[in-house]
Amino acid sequence: MVGEPPAPERLDDRFARDLRGFGPLGISAMVVILLGNLLFPPVSAVLALAWAWRSRTPWSSIGFSPPRSWRWTIAIGIVTGFAFKLAMKAIVMPLLGADPINRAYHYLAGNRAAIPGFLFAIIVGAGFGEEVLFRGWMFERLGKLLGGSPAAKVAIVTGTSILFGLAHYAVQGLAGTEQAAITGVLFGTIYMITRRIWIPMITHAAFDLTAYFIIYWNLETRVAHWVFR
């Protein structure tokens, strides 16, 4: 009624607001989400989704808006991921002086026993887990901090790509870090333009699947020498 004082803020509304903010609760949530990546990327992704739900962050803010066309989204993602991996292997990485053989994953060559586990890691760990964390969630958080100016967008794509690259250093060394940082720029740019997570997810999975089959069929040296003999 007119003249009555406003109702006190509900406790769960205040909690959601603080979780979205950058005070003690919001920063603590960010730290927990990031630490999940030390275990396995899907852990951070699940925590990020839980954060979005509990903080009442719109799903569209982390990229989960329906695509205009699933058919075209899947097709674009697969073709882009496949072509970009071949370009990285045959042109970019040789120019950076990378070893044609990915020593960290060479054990996968002809290794049938490793197929189920590694396919799970590619599809769930990389395609889903890393994209939700490094694109959907990080872009939302950094966007809130830096705003939506062109300079801020460049900073967000650059910063998340560097973090994405560094996350690969422990297992893949310098070459893996360089490759991940470059692919992070592609995935991040696609996400920044579309504001949807689906193409980066599919592109990422297709990229890693192409890399996997190149290793599995022992084609690394051949592909790496397509352009530079």
152-190 pLDDT tens trace = 999 999 999 999 999 999 999 999 999 999 999 999 999
Neighbour-count burial of 91, counting CB atoms closer than 10 A to its CB (0-12 exposed, 13-18 middle, 19+ buried): middle
Helices (H), the chain: 11-20, 24-39, 41-54, 70-87, 93-95, 115-120, 131, 138-146, 150-166, 169-194, 198-216, 220-224
Mean pLDDT, residues 42-65: 96
Q: What is the pLDDT of residue 11?
A: 63
Q: Measured between alpha carbons, how far is 229 from 226 in angstroms, rounded to an integer?
A: 7
Sign of CA dihedral 50, 62, 153, 74: positive
- The pLDDT confidence band at residue 105, using thresholds 50, 70 and 90, is very high
1-5, 37-41, 191-195: segment of lowest average pLDDT: 1-5
- Using alpha carbons, list the distances in angstroms from residue 62 to 53, 56, 120, 179, 208: 11, 12, 23, 24, 22
Contact 78, 208 (CB under 8 A): no
Mean pLDDT, residues 179-208: 97
Please state the pTM of the whole predicted model. Answer: 0.92
- What SS3 class is residue 179? helix
- The pLDDT confidence band at residue 9, using thresholds 50, 70 and 90, is low
Residue 11 is which amino acid?
L
Contact 204, 191 (CB under 8 A): no
Residue 133 is which amino acid?
L
Asked whether residue 208 carries a pLDDT value surpassing 80, the answer given is yes
- Using alpha carbons, list the distances in angstroms from residue 120 to 75, 182, 197: 21, 23, 19
Tokens, residue 105: 């994953």
